[in-house]
Every structure is written in C-alpha cells, then in structure tokens.
Chain A
C-alpha cells in the first residue's frame, strides 16, 4: 500500500467540505421528519387515531429510517467519483506515474469519503436529536448516536458500490447510476436472500438499539461488517481488472 498515508492526509482535508454537505443534507431530512411528525395531528382528519407516538424517540426512529434511504443515496454520491472523477479530471495519470499503487489511491479516496459520511451522519444525528428533544421532550442521545453509527455500516455500501462502479466506468454519471443500481440490488437481496448476504440484512438492528435492546449485537455487527468487507474485496477486484484492461486511458 505504497503512498497511502500521504494520499489519505490530503484526501481527508479535501473531504471536510463533503462532510459539511453530508451533514447539511441529512440534518435537513432529519429535521424535516421531526417537523412532519409534529404537524401530523393537524394533517390527520379530526378524531383519527395517530399511527405513531408523538415522542422524541419516535422522531429519532424516523431519522434512522431517513438515514437508510437518503443516507444510502448520499453515500452513492460520495463514492461515485473515486476513480472516474480522477479519470475525467485527468488527475489519475500523474498520480500513477508516481510510486503509488492504484489500490492505495482507491483506498485513500474511499476512506476519506467514508470518513466524511461518518462525520455527516454523526453531526446530523446530533442536530436531529437536539431538534426532537426541543419539540417532544427528552430521549437518550447515546442510543441515538449508537443507532446512527450502526446504520452507517449498511449505508456505507452505497459508497462502496459506487466506488467499485467508478473503477469500471469512465464517467461519474455512469458510476452513480451503476452504483445506485448495485445498492438497490443489495437492498432487494436483503429482503429475499439470507440476511448475512448483504449489509442491509440486519438493518432492523438500528431500531433495536434505539429500543434499548443492546444484548446479542456482536454477531449481527460482525456479519454486516463482513458483508462490507466482501463488497470492498469485490471493489478491489474490479479496480485491478480495470487497471489490467487499461479502461481509463483514451
């Protein structure tokens, strides 16, 4: 992994802006969910039974649901330019003429984007929790953060899928489309196949953490992480195949 640390430092610096945008986008959707829950009684016909409890914990639950949907999309957008962005900008060629492997370039860029995603999720979870508490009263911050941290694992697969696609595609738009399709495929597979097959297979665990059920979490977390590692291995295989096929040079 030659040169990975030198690259990672720069990539992390460049990813600060990505983290801010990610936090802003996820906070917007998180707070919109809280606001929608607050307005729900006014929207329902008089005398209708509320489908959910009007509590801060329910609001946070809605935020976690948003994370799975919008967070996965944001994740795809973060990963779509890992290689194809460099190819489009012409920045890959000088990088690869330095003593650095393409695997290092890929891993440094992917790690920086995942760090931006993690920072964005953490910030948006805190912002949403603050808003939910101010509207509905107290709920546990630690559980909110822990549930968001767990949800980060499955939604990271969006960035991994898009990053793998970016190694195979020459444009960022193609990478985004292929990455989004692959992420949707993983999500669909979690509904029909074995639960360990995809990182989304244990998605309900985030809600269990919110409910306080913290026992027996180790195995599902390991399974989800393993599914992500398999995805990463597939990415690296795609990357090396693309390098061998010289797909990036006109």
Chain B
C-alpha cells in the first residue's frame, strides 16, 4: 500500500502477555485515522511495530509499501514517529537535535530543513536552547518537529497533544489536519476523544489488544445508540406527561426519560421519527406558551461510544473469565 498503512492480523506477545491480538486496519494517504483505547490496550505496541522499533510476533504490517520486518530501513525512511515520551536529550540544543535527525535521514541541507520545520512548529526562537531547559509543551513540539523533519509520507503520532496547553493543542491538531490534507497518512492515538473527533475521518478502537470497532467516525459513534432529542423547559406542570400525550396523539413510538430535569426523547422508529417527534414536541410547547431552555438533537459522542464499547467488552471479558 504505497503512501499508506496496512495492518493484517497483527499479534505481539511479550512473554506470557498478548499485548496485541489479531489487529487489522488500514490508513489511506490523506486521512487521519484515530487509534483509540484505554491504557494498556495495545496502542503503543501497535505504533512501535509500525515504526519498526519492535517486531510483530505474527501478522503483517505494511507501511508505504514496505514490510516492517523485512524492509525496516525503508519503513524508517517513510515514517515520522512520535512516541508517547518525547525522549529528547537534555544537553543538546533543539537546532543540533533536529539537524542530527535530518542528517540521519540523509537530507541534502540538514540545517536548513531543521530551521524550516522549526518555523512550521513555531519553535524557531527557542532552537538555540538546551532541550532540557524547555517547557513540556515546547519539548513536545520539538519531538513533533523531529517526526516531520524528513517530510515522511506516513505519520505515527502517539498522544501528540499530551502535556500541551489548549492553544498549543489546537495548533498541533491543525498541523495534523494540514499534514493529512497534504496527502500524508496519519495514525494518531490519544485519550482525548473530543480531539480525535475533530481531526479523524476513521477510528479503530482497541481494548486488551483486540479491535472492538473500526470504521468511519459516524459509524463507530452510532454504536453507542441512536440520536435523541434532549430538551429542558420551565413550566408549571410536569413536562413528561404533556409530551407523552402529544406524541401519542401524533402516533409516534418513542421512549421518554427524565435525566435530572432534561427530558430525553428517544424515537424507536428511526431518524424520520426523530424529526417528526421534534416538530410535535416543539409545537406543543409553543402552544402551551413554554419556551424551552434546551432543545437539541443529541448524537452519541465518540466518548459515549468508547465507554459503551470498552465497558461492554470489559464486562463480557469479566463474565467470560467468571464463566
């Protein structure tokens, strides 16, 4: 797969521990794929295999058309890898460090490229400082610059925004999106699911080394449930019986739930029913002279999908273990 990543049946065993079990996914050039999972899920192990830092026990991983076991050198030239720990030598300056990596990748003008990538990351003014003296956020940016210095077609970013302040985080996310827009295949792992929702086109959710869900963002999100109508309104009487009556009259099959003052209308039928229910509810409220404080179609977030899938898998695992 030229320019992208293909993982098929990947297995990695450390002694007795199966860190990754039969993981498969792919990353197309020009897309950002999120690798999600709780701590110890196998994300970092998968990243390390793809960066050819460790060898898989079984399965196949192809990065930019090169096999991670047989063509390690080609893989390393194709990959910009940001490990979870920035791993910067404290006594070296940023400029020397980036230049060294540019040189290791055999670039023609290593100093020039180091300065260029530092400018892109907004760290030019701190390039002369010793890396040990930089803040955590700046260190992370230097580490990202290191991953980008050879302009690789594939980026593997393990927790790229960890330790960054909100502004730096937003800048890094924009940078990742820009890299994908330029045609790079980007695999990102993170615990901050709202960030993943912002930049990923597809996600692969793993837990205990196994893939729980994989696919476009909407598809994975929908595994947490259907979109629902949520509303809150201040009125003299009880809101729920009023809405029940209105929806019954409209012959719509819905489930109503009161969640601490927020009423959730869950249409059993489908998206068409949701729209109809929203129209009926709004009309009835306005007829009663009630203006709702909150009136929204709530779609399941990635976080809700994550909790549902990982929690479900953990319960199934526990039950399996108990059985």
Given contacts A89-B89, A93-B87, A99-B73, contact A6 B52 (CB under 8 A): no
CA distance A86 to B86 in the complex (A): 12
Q: Which of A13, A17, A91, A99 contacts B104 (CB 8 A)?
A: A99
Closest to B50 in A: A97
Q: How far is the CB of A238 from chain B (nearest CB, A)?
A: 18
**B79 interface contact, C-beta 8 A:** yes
Contacting pair A99 B81 (CB below 8 A): no
CA distance A139 to B53 in the complex (A): 55
Q: Which of B51, B81, B92 contacts A10 (CB 8 A)?
A: B92
Contacting pair A249 B54 (CB below 8 A): yes
Contacting pair A246 B76 (CB below 8 A): no
Among residues 90 to 132 in chain A, which have CB atoms less than 8 Å away from a CB atom of chain B?
90-94, 96-100
List of A residues within 8 angstroms of B96 by Cβ: 10, 13
**A35 interface contact, C-beta 8 A:** no
CA distance A5 to B126 in the complex (A): 26
Interface core residue of A2, A9, A94 (most chain B CB under 10 Å): A94
Contacting pair A97 B77 (CB below 8 A): no
**B146 interface contact, C-beta 8 A:** yes
Q: Hey, what's the 0/1 contact readout for B72-87 against A, CB within 8 Å counting as 1?
A: 0100110101010111
Among residues 53 to 96 in chain A, which have CB atoms less than 8 Å away from a CB atom of chain B?
89-94, 96
Contacting pair A7 B48 (CB below 8 A): no
Among residues 119 to 165 in chain B, which have CB atoms less than 8 Å away from a CB atom of chain A?
143, 146
Closest to B158 in A: A93
Contacting pair B104 A90 (CB below 8 A): no
Contacting pair A246 B83 (CB below 8 A): no
Contacting pair A14 B91 (CB below 8 A): yes
List of A residues within 8 angstroms of B100 by Cβ: 6-7, 9-10
List of B residues within 8 angstroms of A90 by Cβ: 83, 85-87
Q: Which of B54, B55, B89, B104 contacts A98 (CB 8 A)?
A: B104
Q: Which of B55, B76, B79, B88 contacts A91 (CB 8 A)?
A: B88
Contacting pair B101 A98 (CB below 8 A): yes
CA distance A89 to B86 in the complex (A): 9
Contacting pair A91 B81 (CB below 8 A): no
**A220 interface contact, C-beta 8 A:** no
**B232 interface contact, C-beta 8 A:** no
**A3 interface contact, C-beta 8 A:** yes
Closest to A17 in B: B91
Closest to B86 in A: A90
Contacting pair B103 A89 (CB below 8 A): no
Given contacts A3-B104, A10-B92, A249-B54, contact A98 B83 (CB under 8 A): no
Q: Hey, what's the 0/1 contact readout for A15-47 against B, CB within 8 Å counting as 1?
A: 001000000000000000000000000000000
**B105 interface contact, C-beta 8 A:** yes
Contacting pair B105 A94 (CB below 8 A): no
Contacting pair A98 B76 (CB below 8 A): yes
Q: How far is the CB of B11 from chain A (nearest CB, A)?
A: 14
Closest to A94 in B: B87
Contacting pair B104 A100 (CB below 8 A): yes
Q: How far is the CB of B201 from chain A (nearest CB, A)?
A: 25
Q: Which of B14, B52, B79, B104 contacts A7 (CB 8 A)?
A: B104
Contacting pair A99 B51 (CB below 8 A): no
CA distance A209 to B133 in the complex (A): 47
Q: How far is the CB of B160 from chain A (nearest CB, A)?
A: 14
Q: How far is the CB of B278 from chain A (nearest CB, A)?
A: 51
CA distance A96 to B51 in the complex (A): 9
5 closest Cβ pairs, A-B complex? A90-B87, A90-B85, A97-B81, A6-B103, A97-B51
* Sample of 15 more A-B contacts, CB < 8 Å, known A93-B85, A249-B48, A249-B53: A2-B73, A3-B103, A6-B103, A7-B104, A10-B100, A14-B89, A89-B90, A90-B86, A91-B89, A94-B81, A94-B101, A97-B52, A97-B53, A98-B101, A246-B54
Residue contacts A-B, CB under 8 angstroms, 16 given = A7-B100, A7-B104, A14-B92, A89-B87, A90-B85, A90-B87, A93-B48, A93-B83, A93-B87, A96-B53, A97-B83, A98-B101, A98-B104, A99-B73, A99-B76, A249-B54
Q: B residues within 8 Å of A by Cβ?
A: 14, 48, 51-55, 73, 76-77, 79, 81, 83, 85-92, 96, 100-101, 103-106, 143, 146
Q: A residues within 8 Å of B by Cβ?
A: 2-3, 6-7, 9-10, 13-14, 17, 89-94, 96-100, 246, 249
